[in-house]
Amino acid sequence: MRSARSDLSRLRSSDVFRVGGLGLRARKVRTLLTALGIAIGIAAMVAVLGITASEDAQVQAELDALGPNLLEVFEGESITGEDIVLPVESAAMIERIGPIEVAAQVSVVDATVRRTEFVPAAQTGGIVVLATDLDVLDAVDGVVATGTFLDARSAETPAVVLGSVAAERLGVRSLDPTPIVYLTDTYFQVIGVLESVRLAPGFDRAAFIGAPIAQTLFEAELEPQTIYVDVVDGWLDDVRALIAATIRPEAPNEVTVTRPSDAIEARDVTSDSFRSLLLGLGAVALLVGGVGIANVMVISVLERQGEIGVRRALGATRRHIRLQFVVESALLSLLGGVAGVGIGAAITAAYAEREDSVVSVPIEALVLGVGAALVIGGFAGLYPAARAARLDPAEAVRPG
Amino acid sequence: MISDSLGEVVLALRDVKKSYPGTPPIHALAGVDLEIRSGELVAVVGPSGSGKSTMLNMMGALDRPTSGSVVVEGRDLSRLNDRRLSGLRGRKIGFVFQQFHLIDGIGNIENVATGRLYHGVSRRRRRSEAVEMLERVGLGHRLQNRPNQLSGGERQRVAIARALLGDPAIVLADEPTGNLDSGTSEEIMTLLHDLNGQGATIVVITHDRELAASLPRTVSLLDGRIENDSVLNDSVLNDSVLNDSGLGGR
């Protein structure tokens, strides 16, 4: 007897890929069009992941720039519904907690702001007059656009600093010559205008005056409306837990403490659901691409019956034929996947460029994209490959 | 001795019957006994429906008989599973088809080299064997071309080169000149004669009686049976083949 082993059919693994790639090279246009379906799906998913990752990076960068350690403290609600009044020395009390960079408060002054005395008192333009601590801008990362903020001297004089929107409403465009505005019954000099304050949006519609002049002219009580607390890095949660009890030990639950940067993070959370939707659409595109591949492979098997028959005649086993078509399908999809990942990364880069934000394409998205394409292609090829393997070689080599 | 000119039995059909299910069932082969010896050039001839194609399927291990046995180089095919049957088909039998069945998209060398693809032979070796074989069938000047750049006769030469690669025990040519004009047909038959002269065992399946008559031995099929098995040219072959036909052994 001869050795049976040497008589078996064998296909080298390098040849498996060569044979699998053959059908793709022979029909280039069809290959490109079919791979395009997968490419679109993968590109969509990579772009969604890339763009949202870039946005996350952007938001993180903003938070870092703003300092995520700011707390806002204001009165809560009492059970009985009475107005709650926080102590005038709230900021000083909070500073005594310890790890605090700055604690500064503002209080509402019962006064109106108008351009001149001839404007009716009812037309306030929605501008609030705030008596402020002098270091409040340090706490909220506020920036003066032109002029200066209040200092110890100007706080005792009729001087006012306007928020960005307030300045616009009062027609203040330049500080030269020094403009004046009318507060209830006194003209004040405008000594500064603020940039928009991101962490304290209320500042944009406010007119800031010193606490001493507020007491002198408007008999302000200086009960704090809001206390801004910039906490030392790493102490945020500890300080947050102590604030209410510090300034209102008799009823700490009637004090509200919030973190403005939470709102910015919340904006990011809302984009999460949007991301899921887009990812879902990408997945559908991918699925459609997979069905397209299966479809094209079925047609290809029908067209290539002769080739399949000849391969069987030349010694290919059913397994070899099945392998050939699964590999062809997977390679086809892989081609689309690689192209899709490239396109997706390019879209992300273009988007980041336009938004002037950080480019961040997660490696996982790239690996996942290529991997998903491979798996989809492999699955799409299973049925056509099984059909090819089932072909009767005797019939396959004969037309009709 | 006879065995000087005639080798061992490379392929034997013993009482091979093949029916296809249906009402009534079709008996494509109704008990065929045939032996092909090494070095023979045989025509299997018959009108359409005589069982030629079924005979090719049996001889080429493309299909299994309903009863009887097919023996290739001493091995009974009915006992082999798909993997072993495919292995035997790939190594022992070469096929030439009327429609050439060359693979589009790859060159002539790769097409011929496919004849050894499923033998687990390295690509380099396959290709060098293929080049040699293409030169042997007179296509040394067409190495760099693709099948779709060739004439019909040239394509069939490529197919013949593929069939011969790996030195199979027997080459089965199914209507090898069926798609060719008469001049080209003659060239292909001359090539087959030459290759047979160099030692290849070749069976040509055809409906063309004139073509069949030009070969040393003609097996005529009718209604799934061997109607006649004759050796026309060589008297020595004639006697031995007639004596042995259908009986097996020497």
Beta bridge partners of B228: B220
A397–B95: do the CB atoms touch at under 8 Å? Answer: yes
Which residue in A398, A9, A324 sits closest to B80, CA to CA? A9
DSSP string, B57-110: HHHTTSS--SEEEEEETTEEGGG--HHHHHHHHHHHEEEE-TT--PPTTS-HHH
Q: How many CB atoms lie within 10 A of CB B200?
A: 22
A310–B62: do the CB atoms touch at under 8 Å? Answer: no
A25–B162: do the CB atoms touch at under 8 Å? Answer: no
DSSP A235: -
- The number of residues in chain B equals 250
Chain A residue numbers touching B173 (CB-CB < 8 A): none
Q: Which of B105, B106, B118 sits opposite A316 (nearest CB)?
A: B118
Which residue in A48, A51, A121 sits closest to A359, CA to CA? A51
For residue B249, pLDDT beyond 60: no
A14–B123: do the CB atoms touch at under 8 Å? Answer: yes
B248 inside domain: no
Q: How many CB atoms lie within 10 A of CB B110?
A: 20
Nearest residue of B to residue A320 by CA position? B118
Q: Which residues of A touch B (CB under 8 A)?
A: 4, 7-12, 14-15, 18-19, 22-23, 25-27, 306-307, 309-320, 392-394, 397-399
- Which of A314, A323, A392 is the best substitution to test chain B (most B C-beta atoms within 10 A)? A314
Q: Which of A26, A27, A314 sits opposite B118 (nearest CB)?
A: A314
For residue B98, pLDDT beyond 80: yes
Asked if residues B152 and B180 have their Cβ atoms less than 8 Å apart, the reply is yes
- Predicted local distance difference test score (pLDDT) of residue A53: 81
A172-175 contacts: CB < 8 A, separation 24 or more? A174/A146, A175/A146, A175/A147
CATH number of the structural domain spanning residue B55: 3.40.50.300
- Which range in A178-182, A188-192, A357-361, B181-185 is most confidently predicted, on average pLDDT? B181-185
Chain A residue numbers touching B119 (CB-CB < 8 A): 9-10, 315
Torsion of CA A24, A26, A30, A32, to 10 degrees: 50
pLDDT digits (tens, 9 = 90+) for A233-261: 778 788 777 877 787 777 777 788 888 77
> How many structural domains compose chain B?
1
Chains A, B: CB pairs < 8 Å: 101
Q: How many CB atoms lie within 10 A of CB B20?
A: 10
The letter for the amino acid at B109 is: I
> What gap in Å lies between CA B43 and CA B30, rounded to an integer?
19
Beta strands in chain A (DSSP E): 70-75, 100-109, 113-114, 128-132, 144-147, 159-162, 180-183, 186-194, 206-210, 226-231, 255-258
pLDDT digits (tens, 9 = 90+) for A301-354: 999 999 999 999 999 999 999 999 999 999 999 999 999 999 999 998 898 888
Domain that holds residue B150: 39-64+79-232
pTM to 2 decimal places: 0.71
B207 inside domain: yes
pLDDT digits (tens, 9 = 90+) for A265-294: 666 665 677 778 888 888 898 899 999 999
Please tell me the distance in Å from A334's CA to the nearest CA on chain B.
21
Q: Which of A10, A310, A319 sits opposite B120 (nearest CB)?
A: A10
> What gap in Å lies between CA A355 and CA B126, rounded to an integer?
57
Provide the token pair at A363.
């490696």
Nearest residue of B to residue A311 by CA position? B114
- Which of B118, B126, B146, B164 is the best substitution to test chain A (most A C-beta atoms within 10 A)? B118
A315–B118: do the CB atoms touch at under 8 Å? Answer: yes
Q: Which of B53, B89, B103 sits opposite A307 (nearest CB)?
A: B103
Chain B residue numbers touching A307 (CB-CB < 8 A): 101, 103
Residue B50 CB-half CA count within 13 A: 18
Please tell me the distance in Å from B115's CA to the nearest CA on chain A.
6
Helices (H), A304-362: 305-313, 318-355
Nearest residue of B to residue A304 by CA position? B103
B20 inside domain: no
B73 inside domain: no
Residue B4's pLDDT band (cuts 50, 70, 90): very low
B246 inside domain: no
Residue A354 CB-half CA count within 13 A: 7
DSSP A27: S
- Predicted local distance difference test score (pLDDT) of residue A1: 42
Whether a cis peptide bond, with omega within 30° of 0, leads into B24 is: yes
Asked if residues A38 and A44 have their Cβ atoms less than 8 Å apart, the reply is no
Residue B235's pLDDT band (cuts 50, 70, 90): very low
Q: Which of A4, A10, A394 sits opposite B119 (nearest CB)?
A: A10
Q: Is the ipTM of this complex over 0.85?
A: yes
B84–A313: do the CB atoms touch at under 8 Å? Answer: no
Query: Phi and psi for A275 in degrees, rounded to 5?
Result: -60, -40
Query: Phi and psi for A297 in degrees, rounded to 5?
Result: -65, -40
> What gap in Å lies between CA B203 and CA B45, rounded to an integer?
10
B223 inside domain: yes
Please tell me the distance in Å from A360's CA to the nearest CA on chain B.
42
The arithmetic mean of pLDDT across residues A32-60, rounded, is: 86
A4–B93: do the CB atoms touch at under 8 Å? Answer: no
DSSP B119: B
B203 inside domain: yes
Q: What percent of chain A has pLDDT over 70?
A: 95
| Residue B143 to residues A191, A215, A308, B74, B92, Cα–Cα distance (Å) | 91, 103, 24, 37, 25
> What gap in Å lies between CA A172 and CA A145, rounded to an integer?
12
Instruction: Collapse the DSSP code of B222 into the 3-class scheme (helix H, G, I; strand E, B; otherwise coil) and give the result.
Output: strand
Which residue in B64, B16, B42, B72 sits closest to B225, CA to CA? B16
Chain A residue numbers touching B20 (CB-CB < 8 A): none
A18–B91: do the CB atoms touch at under 8 Å? Answer: no
Chain B residue numbers touching A309 (CB-CB < 8 A): 101
B5 inside domain: no
